[in-house]
Every structure is written in C-alpha cells, then in structure tokens.
C-alpha cells in the first residue's frame, strides 16, 4: 500500500513535466518566453489560476473549457500528462530514485516537447536537441561514463544524420540533430533500440496510412519510452 502511494510521486512529477514539455513544444517554435511567462488561456489571453494550471486536475475541474471564453482545451494536453505520469511511475518501479531515473525523465520531457512541436509545426527547435546533448553529457559524466553519450549519439543519430546528408527530403536535418541528442541522453543500447523501434513503427504507420511523409519525432519519443521501460 505504501509502495503504491510512493508511486504518486513519480506520477505527479510526470504530469508536471509533461505539462511543461507541452509549454516548451508550443512556445519554442513561436519564439515565446519559455521560462517566466505564466500560462495564459490560448483563447482569450486570461492568466490561468494556480488551480487551473494543475496538470490533469485543472483540465477535469474546468471540464476542458476556459470559464471566461469557452475555449476548448485540446484533450491531447491532459492525455499526454496522464501518459507521462504513468511512464514515470513505471520507470520509478524499475530504477528507483536514481540518476538513471532523472536522466530518463529529462530525456522524455524534452522529447515530448519536440514531438508536439514536430506534430503541430513540423519544426524541431534546436534548443531541445542542444538540451538533450547537454543533459546527456552531464548525467553520464556525473556517473563517470564519458564515452556513453558519444557512443549513444552515434548509435541513435548516426543513421539519421547519414540519411539527412544523402537524402534531405527523406530525413530533415532537425530530425537528425534531435536523434543525435536523444542518443547522447539514452546511451548506446537504449539509443539504438529507440531508433529501431521508431523506424519500424514509423514505416508501418506510413504503409498503413499510405503516407509518404511521416513526422519522425513522435515515433522517436515512442521508441525512447519503449527502450527505457523495457530494456
Ligand atoms: Zn479563455
């Protein structure tokens, strides 16, 4: 029982970071201030109260709408918050409160922001790729594994980088930079697994929907979740 209660901690952390990831994904491509500006209603610009800003709970209390202007809050927000909360609870069960847990948490938050930005704007902010690199070297460096971020970047980003150079229409430079950064945080094994899962699922998706262009980052996010939880 107490153990189940303890899982509320990573769950809450996941919902809060997902909510911040959503904010990053929304504001970075619009060159908005991502640190100091409090969240506003996208419909009327009204500043949201602390209660309304609570992940998942705020959405449920407001029944999905702004109480002033009736703006319908996209259901993707509470869903992605719930999802990341559950993933964090799973990671906590596997890793406990360790450096590996926080490395995974930072990686998934930044990847979620990049996936949302890619889905909405077809744009991947360089700040997110650079942050992944930074945290990759920081976390691995603190545990004395200096080669892991380099090997990871090659394992996850080497192939996308080669593809982007040979066939820029098939793979964008932004995708390649993000894959390099993702590998730097995940390390070589999880990085390679995330790329493999992303490629297979992305290709299957493109085949099923008969699409030529599929955004890559949402699949890389899914691949990273798979690799971190199951490897
Ligand atoms: Zn409003």
Q: Between 220 and 172, where is the model more confident?
A: 220
121-135 exposure pattern, b = at least 16 Cβ within 10 A, e = fewer: eeebbeebbebbbbb
pLDDT at position 147 over 70: yes
Residue 39 pLDDT class (50, 70, 90 cuts): confident
Structure tokens at 177: 């930079």
User: Which pTM value belongs to this model?
Assistant: 0.92
The per-residue pLDDT for range 43-99, each reduced to its tens digit, is 898 988 888 888 899 999 999 999 899 999 888 889 999 999 999 999 999 999 999
Domains of the chain by residue range: 2-230
Q: Report pLDDT for 169.
A: 80
Say if residue 31 is exposed, middle or buried (CB neighbours under 10 Å; 0-12, 13-18, 19+): exposed
Q: Report pLDDT for 1.
A: 66
Q: Report pLDDT for 34.
A: 65
CA of 71 to the centre of ligand 1 (A): 5
Residues facing 72 on adjacent strands: 65
8 Å CB contact between 190 and 224: yes
Q: Report pLDDT for 155.
A: 97
Residue 28 pLDDT class (50, 70, 90 cuts): confident
Portion of the chain with pLDDT greater than 70, in percent: 97
CA of 176 to the centre of ligand 1 (A): 37
Q: Between 148 and 169, where is the model more confident?
A: 148
| Mean pLDDT, rounded, of the chain | 91
Write down the residue that tokens 């996208």 correspond to. Answer: 42
The per-residue pLDDT for range 211-228, each reduced to its tens digit, is 778 899 999 999 999 999
Q: Report pLDDT for 30.
A: 82
CA of 36 to the centre of ligand 1 (A): 20
Q: Between 37 and 5, where is the model more confident?
A: 5
Q: Which of 14-28, 109-123, 129-143, 191-205 has the lowest mean pLDDT?
A: 14-28
8 Å CB contact between 199 and 171: no
Sign of the CA dihedral with 174 first, then 175, 178, and 184 last: negative
CA of 47 to the centre of ligand 1 (A): 9
Q: Report pLDDT for 148.
A: 97
Residues facing 47 on adjacent strands: 40
pLDDT at position 158 over 90: yes
Query: What are the residue ranges of helices labelled H in the chain?
Result: 2-6, 8-27, 50-53, 57-61, 76-95, 99-121, 126-142, 147-166, 173-186, 188-209, 217-230
Q: Which of 2-6, 105-109, 197-201, 202-206 has the lowest mean pLDDT?
A: 2-6
CA of 42 to the centre of ligand 1 (A): 6
CA of 208 to the centre of ligand 1 (A): 38
């Amino acid at each position: 029982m107490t153990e189940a209660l303890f899982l509320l901690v990573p769950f809450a952390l996941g919902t809060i970071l997902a909510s911040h990831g959503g904010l990053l994904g929304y504001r970075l491509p619009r060159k908005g201030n991502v640190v100091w500006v409090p969240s506003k209603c996208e419909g009327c610009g009204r500043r949201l109260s602390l209660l309304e800003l609570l992940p998942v709970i705020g959405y449920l209390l407001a029944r999905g709408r702004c109480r002033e202007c009736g703006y319908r809050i996209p259901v993707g927000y509470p869903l992605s918050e719930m999802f990341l909360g559950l993933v964090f609870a799973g990671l906590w069960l596997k890793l406990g409160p360790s450096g590996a847990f926080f490395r995974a948490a930072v990686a998934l938050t930044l990847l979620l922001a990049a996936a949302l930005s890619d889905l909405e704007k077809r744009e991947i902010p360089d700040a997110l790729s650079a942050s992944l690199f930074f945290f990759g070297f920081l976390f691995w460096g603190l545990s004395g594994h200096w080669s892991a971020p380099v090997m990871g970047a090659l394992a996850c980003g080497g192939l996308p980088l080669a593809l982007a150079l040979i066939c820029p229409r098939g793979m964008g430079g932004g995708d390649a930079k993000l894959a390099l950064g993702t590998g730097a945080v995940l390390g070589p094994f999880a990085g390679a697994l995330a790329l493999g899962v992303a490629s297979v699922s992305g290709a299957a998706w493109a085949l099923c929907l008969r699409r030529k262009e599929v955004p890559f980052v949402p699949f890389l996010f899914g691949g990273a979740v798979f690799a971190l939880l199951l490897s």
